[in-house]
């Protein structure tokens, strides 16, 4: 296990956290003449065909078309979180920890937040490379949180608190009633995505834990945001990706995992909300939803639909380790077997391939090595696994 972690870590650092990414394909599509303006049904069908072909071809497409490589802020942040875990059991990682922290801080913007790594469009609104990236900022802050908890160095606390304050100033929040609100996924538009909303509430809850003077300002916002998402989960009996008025009923492995982890941190750091919303109940309910939808012979991305990928595998390892005590013996065995089967399937040259798609009995392997989407996630999840194994010895 430790050798696997070292190989992942060395690959990420040696490649400067740069490689192919889902964002690479967005850049290609935005600049390629192969894709048509969707003026009619035929052009839309053509674009759908190209998208599906690129998705299924995976690494094979890299030999056909020129796909750019992207340096990933999230990959740096996840690697830093993984190094925090590794430092708990071995001091030899100190130098790499300091190096990766410096890399993360190099990417910090003047507004104390972290940037989007490529141009993309959400609900018709463009987010430009170099402007505030909400999700990149959240995962950077989660890494800074881990740094502070490990070292108790005040510099990490200061970075964390000033960045949280900057984030909630720049990301719009919409109130649907006096005690129901949701942060937008996009600083320049309106898209009410549950995992993004709850991730922001998660980092706010830790800020309150660090600085009790923030209680009066932050807790009402956390309360309203939590109420929005939990009410939607209750009404839909699901964990949909987005709520009204930008509804999306789709759900997937890792976003459901983010939701669960966010609720757990809010429960931990804001006890008054644990009681008000019965967050123990919601932890168990979402864990059951996760298990029922994504755990089978393998770990699946969507509702056991035969897409198996490293990103979802990593999330399943995190869920298994963090919520082990809430799983019964039978579920533990099935969960663990799914993880082991998926680890074997996705291992590739000492690292982890992007995905395997099973279509009508045919397994299509995508061996693309993706720093953000797969490798840094696997490093972080396996480092958590390593801590638990070390503690058991």
Choose among 126, 132, 127: nearest CA to 108.
Answer: 132
H-only helix segments in the chain? 2-14, 22-31, 41-57, 73-87, 94-106, 134-151, 154-170, 194-210, 215-236, 253-269, 271-277, 279-294, 310-322, 329-346, 376-392
Token digits of residue 263: 């609720």
pTM, 2 dp: 0.94
> Residue 202's pLDDT is what?
98
Lowest mean pLDDT among 178-182, 186-190, 237-241: 186-190
Q: How many Cβ atoms from other residues are within 10 Å of residue 92's Cβ?
A: 10
Q: With bands split at pLDDT 50, 70 and 90, how would you rate the model's confidence at 184?
A: very high
Task: Convert the pLDDT of each residue in 2-36 to its tens digit.
Answer: 778 999 999 999 999 999 988 777 777 666 777 77
Token digits of residue 362: 């045919």
Q: How many Cβ atoms from other residues are within 10 Å of residue 6's Cβ?
A: 16
> Residue 393's pLDDT is what?
44
Task: Convert the pLDDT of each residue in 30-65 to its tens digit.
Answer: 667 777 777 778 888 887 888 788 778 888 888 777
Q: To which residue do tokens 């089978």 refer?
A: 296
Token digits of residue 357: 């798609």
Distance CA 250, CA 157 (A): 36
As a whole number of angstroms, the longest Cα–Cα distance in the chain is 63
Task: Convert the pLDDT of each residue in 374-389 to its tens digit.
Answer: 999 999 999 998 876 5
Section 348-355 average pLDDT: 95
Task: Convert the pLDDT of each residue in 124-161 to its tens digit.
Answer: 778 889 999 999 999 999 999 999 999 999 999 999 99
Q: Is 158 helix (H, G, I), strand (E, B) or coil?
A: helix
Distance CA 206, CA 330 (A): 34
Distance CA 157, CA 163 (A): 10
Q: Tell me the CA end-to-end span of the chain in Å, nearest whole number.
A: 14
Section 162-184 average pLDDT: 96
Distance CA 295, CA 305 (A): 11
Task: Convert the pLDDT of each residue in 290-331 to its tens digit.
Answer: 999 999 999 999 977 789 999 999 999 999 999 999 999 999
């Amino acid at each position: 296990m430790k050798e696997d972690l070292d190989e992942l870590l060395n690959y990420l650092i040696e490649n400067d956290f740069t490689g192919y990414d889902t964002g690479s394909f967005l850049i290609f599509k935005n600049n390629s003449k192969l894709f048509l303006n969707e003026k009619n049904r035929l052009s839309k069908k053509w674009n759908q065909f190209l998208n599906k072909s690129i998705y299924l071809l995976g690494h094979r497409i890299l030999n056909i078309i020129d796909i750019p490589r992207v340096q990933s802020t999230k990959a740096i942040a996840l690697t830093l979180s993984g190094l925090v875990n590794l430092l708990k059991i071995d001091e030899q990682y100190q130098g790499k920890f300091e190096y990766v922290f410096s890399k993360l801080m190099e990417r910090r913007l003047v507004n104390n937040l972290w940037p989007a790594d490529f141009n993309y469009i959400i609900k018709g609104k463009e987010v430009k490379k170099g402007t505030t990236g909400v999700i990149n900022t959240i995962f950077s802050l989660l890494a800074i949180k881990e740094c502070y908890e490990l070292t108790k160095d005040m510099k990490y606390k200061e970075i964390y608190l000033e960045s949280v304050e900057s984030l909630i100033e720049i990301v719009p929040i919409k109130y649907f009633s006096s005690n129901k609100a949701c942060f937008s996924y996009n600083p320049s538009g309106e898209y009410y995505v549950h995992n993004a909303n709850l991730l922001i509430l998660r980092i706010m809850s830790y800020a309150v834990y660090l600085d009790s003077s923030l209680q009066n300002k932050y807790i009402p916002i956390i309360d309203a945001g939590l109420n929005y998402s939990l009410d939607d989960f209750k009404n839909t009996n699901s964990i949909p990706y987005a709520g009204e008025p930008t509804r999306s009923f789709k759900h997937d492995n890792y976003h459901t995992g983010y939701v669960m982890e966010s609720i757990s941190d809010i429960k931990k750091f804001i006890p008054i909300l644990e009681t008000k919303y019965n967050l123990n109940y919601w932890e168990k309910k979402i864990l059951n939803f996760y298990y029922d939808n994504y755990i089978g012979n393998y770990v699946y991305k969507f509702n056991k639909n035969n897409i198996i990928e490293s990103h979802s595998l990593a999330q399943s390892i995190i869920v298994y380790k963090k919520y082990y005590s809430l799983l019964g013996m039978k579920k533990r065995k099935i969960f663990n077997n799914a993880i082991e089967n998926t680890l074997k399937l996705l291992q590739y040259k000492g690292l982890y391939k992007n995905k395997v798609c099973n279509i009508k009995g045919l397994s299509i392997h995508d061996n693309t090595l993706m720093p953000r989407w797969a490798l840094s996630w696997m490093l972080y999840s396996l480092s958590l696994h390593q801590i638990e194994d070390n503690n058991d010895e």
